[in-house]
Structure 1
Amino acid sequence: MTLPKILISACLLGRPVRYNGSAKPVLHPALRAWQKAGQLVIICPEVAAGFSTPRPPAEITQGQSGPDVLASTARVQDTTGADVTDQFITGAKIALALAQEQNCKFAILTDASPSCGSTHIYDGAFQGQKHPGTGVTTALLRAHGMQVFAETEIDGLVACLSKGRIKN
């Protein structure tokens, strides 16, 4: 049996690719085991789309979410006022292409990110307030049948894999 591939945010593995040039490393035994087994497919959608590190923080506008961005009813804007929607969509498409190429059925992405958030994201007012929602990459991956987990939900993915609850 082939071990499932898992797309993962680069910052969760300690790579300093976040908007502020930091990482957000997660120390979880399952991550170490999956990495050792060659199951992890690493990406930062924003860096893949050409954003620099560091870069101005960005949020999805008007309290909307990733599916709204993909439907062209919401935009992604950074703190300088620049519209960076197209780059976020490009990053999501690159992540999807990589996931499909590597046959990933799962992803572990950084929550609250306008790209990778899977349970909540910032509300677009740049005041530190979060609301339930998903980032652009998560929305695109889910639209193509991938199961996306936040870094706080790794145990849920472990349980899903151990019980064979894999969506096709």
Structure 2
Amino acid sequence: MKKKIKVLISACLLGDNVKYSGGNNLTPELVTLLEKYNVDIVKVCPECFGGLPIPRVPSEIRENKVFSKDNRDLTEEFLVGAEKTLEIAKENEVDFVILKERSPSCGSTYIYDGNFSGNIILGQGITTRKLNEENIIVFSEENLEEIEKYLIELDKN
């Protein structure tokens, strides 16, 4: 019997209210795509794993450290969350990961510039970096076409 595809996903993208604001980033097109391929889902929130509350003060990466808008250094919490997420990815032998773009934990291509100005720059969140170091493939919810192509490839095997 063929092994079921297993995907680790940011919980906020599936509608869990774990976002810094207390809300979520539900992405219906992503949910539909995952249902189409009948994947097993492993939900995570690296920031919650790092012990940060919901809601919480927004955070951004500046000079490779994570600072909250009220200027607290939260780098350690973000590193703990990244490590826990990596452990879960390995324990569950996930095929790939889908994380929230622009997040200081989960951004895979873009993050905010660290000045809380709304400016977006090329960069990766702390968790994405950690997963990439272990050669785990990370997509964002904004790459649905790429995700589907990857799912089709995995489905063939």
TM-score (norm 1): 0.86
Closer, same or farther: CA 149–6 of 1 in aligned 2, 3 Å: same
2:14 match: 13
* Cα distance between partner residues in 1 of 2:132 and 2:144: 17
After TM superposition, the runs of 4+ consecutive aligned structure 1 residues lying more than 2 A away are: 31-34, 163-166
* Structure 1 residues without counterparts, runs of 5 or longer: 63-73
1:140 match: 130
Task: Summarize deviations over 1:67-119 as a string: whole Å, max 9, x none.
Answer: xxxxxxx2110011100000000000000000000001311100000000011
1:58 match: 59
* Cα distance between partner residues in 1 of 2:61 and 2:66: 4
Q: Does 1:160 align with 2:150?
A: yes
Q: Percent identity?
A: 37
Q: Which residue of 102, 116, 121 maps to 2:106?
A: 116
* Cα distance between partner residues in 2 of 1:58 and 1:40: 27
Matches within 5 A, 1:15-94: 15-28=16-29, 29-33=32-36, 37=38, 39-62=40-63, 74-94=64-84
Matched-pair contact (CA < 8 Å) for 1:5–1:103 = yes
**Corresponding residue pairs, total:** 153
Shift of 1:158: 1.4
What SS does the corresponding residue of 1:107 show, helix, strand or coil? strand
Matched-pair contact (CA < 8 Å) for 2:108–2:140 = yes
Q: Which amino acid aligns with 1:23?
A: N
Matched-pair contact (CA < 8 Å) for 1:21–1:53 = yes
* Cα distance between partner residues in 1 of 2:110 and 2:142: 12
TM-score (norm 2): 0.92
What SS does the corresponding residue of 1:163 show, helix, strand or coil? helix
* Cα distance between partner residues in 2 of 1:131 and 1:21: 24
